[in-house]
Amino acid sequence: MNYQPDLISTALKMLGILVILLGGLLITLYLSKRVFKRRDVEPRGKMIKVLASKYLGVKKSISLVEIPGAVLVLGITSDRIVLLSKIENAEILDEIRGPGDEGALPSFSDQLRRLSSRYRRGGNKQ
């Protein structure tokens, strides 16, 4: 029975050390978040927008991604991303974005159909 008081005091010491360690970790986490606070990386809103994405097969898709001044057509697979086309023409960009309605985007197939018809019309003029 001599071991019971030692067991209780040892358990209390362990709990005290655990509370001190967890408190120290929480204080460190709080301070690190304040010190390394993320700066406003995107001051003018989102710089990159995914306009549409279309699933093509197993782990394969094609996406329209808007960056400032252009729209990128990207082919995406499980192990790589390939730039298929870069659209910089202001008229085409306006067609893709639609008439000022940023909330409702046309479907991906509609956007591709408009782009391909635009290129076909441009090719027939020559």
pLDDT at residue 101, as a whole number: 46
Average pLDDT over residues 76-84: 92
Average pLDDT over residues 54-79: 89
Nearest in space to 63 (alpha carbons), one of 42, 83, 79: 83
Instruction: Name the residue ranges covered by the structural domains of the chain.
Output: 1-37, 49-124
Pick left, alpha or beta for residue 17 (phi over 0 → left; psi -120 to 50 → alpha; otherwise beta).
alpha
**C-alpha span between 20 and 8 (Å, rounded):** 18
Nearest in space to 65 (alpha carbons), one of 97, 27, 99: 97
Average pLDDT over residues 12-18: 95
pLDDT exceeds cutoff 70 at 43 = no
Asked whether 63 and 76 are in contact (CB, 8 A), the reply is: yes
pTM of the full predicted structure?
A: 0.44
Look at the block and give the residue holding tokens 């985007």. Answer: 105
pLDDT at residue 82, as a whole number: 93
pLDDT exceeds cutoff 60 at 37 = yes
Look over the chain and give the mean of its residue pLDDT values, rounded to a whole number.
Answer: 78
pLDDT at residue 39, as a whole number: 55
Backbone angles phi, psi at 38, to 5 degrees: -65, 130
